[in-house]
Amino acid sequence: MDEFALIRHYFRGLTPVREDVALGIGDDCALLCPPPGEELAVTTDTLVAGRHFPEQATGYDIGWKALAVNLSDLAAMGATPRWFQLALTLPQADEGWLAAFAQGLGDLARLYGVGLTGGDTTRGPLSVTLTAMGSVPAAAALRRSGAQEGDLVCVTGTLGDAALALHTLQAGEQVDEALLARLHRPQPRVAAGIALRRLAHAAIDLSDGLAGDLLHILEASGVGADVSVDALPASPAVAARQEGRLSLQLAGGDDYELCVCLPPQNLAEARRKLDLPLTPVGRITARPRLRYVDAGGRELLLNFAAYRHFG
């Protein structure tokens, strides 16, 4: 199968037809029609074999996750997802792998109604780069730079599940299905991001772990935070780990939950609007420093380095 047959067979027609696509796959460019008065939100993420997914990950999981991590970035801005482009580098045209990959990608794309509008297909070591595009009403996007002193730092869902699954896999032990899904099939918090547009001052999605990702908000906003480590929401599996819990929850990465900063008076409304838990884990301070405290208010000296590709 040459690349044109491959594109036709696996990718053309994979995702729903959208009215805001004037021209999709097949020409030199796609022609897209963003809604008037909205800003275009654009994000790119690459998954590289051995670095972003373990060798055991299936084509289905890789297809799902490649789109999920990009939709998670759109969610963190409060954007409505619309389209995505796919740049695929493959060692060979393995039809079983491609069918599974397209299915994982297509299943998640259909859940959010996003359209695959083009891409590039090349030969080389396995790597998947996706550019996702969405839109948000002018000036309504959630940025990293809006956190204010007194805001609550809140996170959606639970933290540390994906890291526990990876850790358990790497130890050669059996991993529970639900936990494994948290690693391989993250659910981007798209509806939560949109619901929080008018309620939150700042947001980021948690890809590298709260310790590192919250620092990005603090730096961009010129503020600090006190984070209460006993408040971090944990699934039963993560809560059962006395040792290593904090490292999984603060530095494990791959959570794809949202971390938002909002004024305390908006918490109740935010919780009503979300269909998943929103847990306050700390507070924004004027002093530009990230401190960890325990339930008794005592400071804990923790030093979690976020994953860095060129560290």
Q: Whole-angstrom Cα distance, residue 146 to residue 260?
A: 10
Residue closer to ligand ADP, measured from CB, 26 or 288: 26
What are the Cα distances from residue 69, in Å, to 186, 225, 297? 8, 26, 35
Rule CB under 6 A: say whether 16 interacts with ligand ADP: no
DSSP state of 18: -
Residues 6+ apart with CB under 8 A from 136: 38, 39, 41, 77, 78, 79, 80, 197
Residue 119 binds ligand ADP (CB under 6 A):
yes
Q: Residue of minimal CB distance from Mg ion?
A: 120
| Total length of the chain | 311
86 binds, among Mg ion, ligand ADP, none (CB under 5 to 8 A by kind): ligand ADP
Q: How far apart are CA 143 and CA 297, in angstroms?
A: 29
Q: Which residues from 105-144 bind Mg ion, rule CB under 5 A?
A: 120
Q: Is residue 108 at the binding interface for ligand ADP, with CB under 6 A as the rule?
A: no
- Alpha-carbon torsion 208, 210, 216, 220, what sign? positive
Asked if 97 is part of the footprint of ligand ADP (rule: CB under 6 A), the reply reads: no
From candidates 67, 77, 86, 114, binder to ligand ADP by CB under 6 A: 86
Which of 1, 22, 26, 145 forms a contact with ligand ADP (CB under 6 A)?
26
Output 120 or 149, the one with its CB closest to Mg ion.
120
Q: How far is the CB of 86 from ligand ADP (least distance, A)?
A: 4
Helix (H) or strand (E) segment spanning residue 238: helix 236-239
CB of 28 to Mg ion, least distance (A): 8
Using the contact rule CB under 6 A, the part of the chain among 115-123, 168-176, 192-200, 221-229 near ligand ADP is 115-123
- Strand 115-123 to strand 80-90: parallel, antiparallel, or no bridges (unpaired)? parallel
CB 67 within 8 A of CB 109: yes
Closer Cβ to ligand ADP, 7 or 67, answer by number = 7
Residue 218 interacting with ligand ADP (CB under 6 A): no
Residues of this chain that interact with ligand ADP (CB under 6 A) are 7, 11, 25-28, 86, 88, 116, 118-121
